[in-house]
Every structure is written in structure tokens, then in C-alpha cells.
Amino acid sequence: MASNSRRKKPYKKPNNVSMPSPSFTRFSHKKVSVFVSLVMIVGVIFLLGISSNIFSGVAQVPKLYSGQVINEFPHDPSAFTQAVLCITVVFLLGISLNILISFACVDRSPKIYSIQVLNKFPHDPKAFTEGLLYAGNGTLYESTGLYGKSSVRRVALHTGKVAEVEALQKMDDSYFGEGLTLFEKRLFQIGKFTHGMDDGWGLATNGKVLFGSDGTSALYQLDPQTLKVAHNSVLFLSILAVLFFLVIGKQTVRYNGLEVHYLNELEFVNDEIWANVWQTDCIARISLEDGSVLGWILLPSLRKGLIAAGHNGIDVLNGIAWDENDNRLFVTGKLWPKLYEIKLHPITKHFDTGVIEQLCIPRRS
């Protein structure tokens, strides 16, 4: 849970940061190719040396002599053939290895995506969105922040109508509501923490463990079965009770070696964690294997479109919901009047690393 001043401040992207044209970057593998070529040359020289030894009794003579042919015998050329064959095999293997290295050295930097808006839906412009999830049958669950206004609510997707705010949970005025997830038919919203995490921002699940963010570059794994108070525990507020879960894992999220701080709302999508990055118009696709960023989704057009339409009081992009059954992706933001269904389009030419750093990785203050 960030400080009140930090969370209340509307975020405005600097005017001088615009979406640049993508520029193609190339990955050089010259050093590897040179090494392979040297190995090939050494191999050929070695085989030539062997072949010279094979023919030493035939081709190498210390002196010149004249002589008389006494008998003629057939000569087996197999030794020469074997030497040529060995040299050819080494040469072809070297070429094949070089080709394989060329494919292996293709730029594997994170994929960059633009978006296409498929549908727009009404969204409560007073909702300071902290968590969002799709529950099926045209229903969303949303958690909101701000002291005195935090809640967990059920929302009709097509109308944006908020239902059962009081029936679910209207939080105490002393709590700042944060991320939300649905686990085993129970809703969990982050309230505050005791130990193990610095703060409470985002929450998601793969159905086995929970994933949490605290506004740093850390992605936590939490044990939902540990329903007891324990050391290094994390405090959650559910709609039923106050529960404690153990932090059982932690990864640092990085892009090209840089830590990606300010991880905010989380969503589990196709074995990845997708995270809003606070103060940016970017969503990071995060690998659960090593915490590396697999891709970036760029969404500045949404916020810019709302501002152009006169919605100057909006705050940052925050809120990702994934419809697993129909493969639909929804996004919104804090105090946004719209919720969007979007489709991703890979950008074929890569952005320069520095451009992505500028757009998607805010500096840690």
C-alpha cells in the first residue's frame, strides 16, 4: 500500500515523451562465427597433418634417385579418399554449426505489442481501481483504493453497473484497498503487511499459489494453504476474515538486466504474470521461471484518448482482467470512465532498448 499522497496524485505523462517509430536492431554474432571458423581451420590443418603422415612413405623422400622398375603393384587409394572425406566432413560440420549459431543468435529481446480496441464498456469514474478480475458470465470483480473509499465490488461488464458493494465488502476507513484475486471461490484483497513484503499492491493466482507485488521489482509467491499466523507472514483482508499467508518464493523482475520497479496490479495469463507498471502506460509480461520480462504491451493511446475527450481527472493505467474461456483481455485505469477489451498486435521491428526503458521503466525515487 503506497502512501496516500503517492496514490492520490494523478499521473501525467511528460509531454516530451512520445511514442517513437520502431527502429530495427540487429544482434551480431561475428565473434562466435570467427571462433567456429578458427576451429574449422585448425581441424583441417590437423587432418592434413594426419594425411601427410599417411602418405609419408609414398610422397616424402629425402633424396632423388634414379632406378629400375622391377615390379608393378596396384595401389589402394583408400587412405587418400579417407583423408579427403574427413576434411569434407569437418568443413560441412563447420558450416552447419555456423548456420545453427546464426539461428540461435537471433535477437531474443522481449516482444513489443501495440493494441487494438475491440470494445469499450462503461466504468465507474470514481473507482480508484487497484484490482480487477473476470469471473465469467459478464461479471467483473474490482477492488478500489483511497482511504475512506476502498471497497470490493461486483460489476456488470456491459453496463458498468456496480452491484453489492456493501454485501461484498466496504472496507474500514483506515484501510487503503489494493489488489484482488479469486482463489477457491473466495475473494482476497490485499490490505496491509506485517513481514516479508514491503507493501501491498497487486495480487493474482494460478489456482495453486498466489502472486503478490509490493511496488518494488519483486514478484512474490504466497502459500494460500497457510491459514495461520507465522513468521514472515503476509496479512490479507478477505470478505470473510483476516488471514495470514507465508511468503514461499520471490523473484526479481528484470528487463535487459534492469530491475523493473513499481509492479502494480497483477494478472495470471497463459502461465505468465502480466503486471501494470505504475506511472507508465505499459504492461509487462513476466516469466515465472526467472522473472525476466518476456514482452511489453504499449497502451498510451488509451489514456491519451480519454484526455483528448476531456477526461483530465483520470489517473494511471491500472487493472488487467483475463477471460480464460474466451481469450479476452480487459484493461482500465484509476478513475477511468471506460473499460476496454483489447487485442494485441506484435510490432515486427524491435524498439531500441533505450526507448522501452524510457516508456516502461520509471526511475526509482
Question: What are residue 15's phi and psi, to 5 degrees?
Answer: -65, -25
The SS3 call for residue 258 is strand
Average pLDDT of 148-176? 76
Bridge-based pairing state of the strands 139-144 and 258-259: unpaired
- Per-residue pLDDT, averaged over 229-235, amounts to 36
pLDDT score recorded for residue 209:
86
What phi-psi label fits residue 168: left (phi over 0), alpha (psi between -120 and 50 degrees) or beta? alpha
* pLDDT band at 119; cut points 50, 70, 90: very high
Q: Does the global pTM surpass 0.85?
A: no
Query: How far apart are the C-alpha atoms of 356 and 365, rounded to whole Å?
Result: 19
180-183 and 151-156 strand pairing: unpaired
Residues 177, 130 contacting (CB under 8 angstroms): yes
Beta bridge partners of 333: 317
The three cell numbers locating residue 83: 583423408
Rounded CA separation 151/233 (Å):
23
- The region of weakest confidence among 159-168, 169-178, 225-234, 308-317 is 225-234
Residue pLDDT, tens place only, 100-115: 554 444 445 779 999 9
- In this structure, the dihedral spanned by the alpha carbons of residues 304, 309, 312 and 315, taken in order and rounded to 10 degrees, is -50
Over 70: is that where the pLDDT of 227 sits?
Answer: no
Say what the pLDDT of residue 314 is.
Answer: 95
Residue 235: its pLDDT value, please?
Answer: 41
The mean pLDDT value of the chain amounts to 75
Per-residue pLDDT for 243 more than 60?
A: no
In whole angstroms, what is the distance from residue 41 CA to residue 238 CA?
68
Helix (H) or strand (E) holding 169: strand 169-170
Phi, psi at 46, each rounded to 5°: -60, -45
Q: How far apart are CA 341 and CA 288, in angstroms?
A: 25
Average pLDDT for 30-59: 55
At 145, is the pLDDT very low, low, confident or very high (cuts 50, 70, 90)? confident
User: Residue 51: left if φ>0, alpha if ψ -120 to 50, beta else—which one?
Assistant: alpha
CA dist 155 to 84, 138, 203, 213, 276, Å?
A: 76, 9, 19, 24, 21
Q: In terms of DSSP bridges, do strands 111-122 and 293-298 run parallel, antiparallel, or are they unpaired?
A: parallel
- Whole-number Å distance between alpha carbons of 124 and 245: 32
Q: Per-residue pLDDT tens for 194-214?
A: 445 666 788 999 988 889 898
Percentage of the chain lying above the pLDDT 70 cut? 58
CA atoms within 13 A on the CB side of 22: 14
Cell triple for residue 165? Answer: 458493494
pLDDT higher than threshold 90 for residue 98: no
Separation of alpha carbons 352 and 296, rounded Å: 13
> Which pLDDT belongs to residue 149?
79
User: What are 117's strand-pairing partners?
Assistant: 342
**CA 76 from centre of chain:** 63
21-25, 92-96, 140-144, 163-167: which range is least confident on average?
21-25
Cell of 255: 528487463
Q: CB under 8 Å, gap of 24 or more: what pairs does 286-289 form?
A: 286/219, 286/253, 288/251
- Cα 245 to Cα 231: distance, rounded to the nearest angstrom: 10
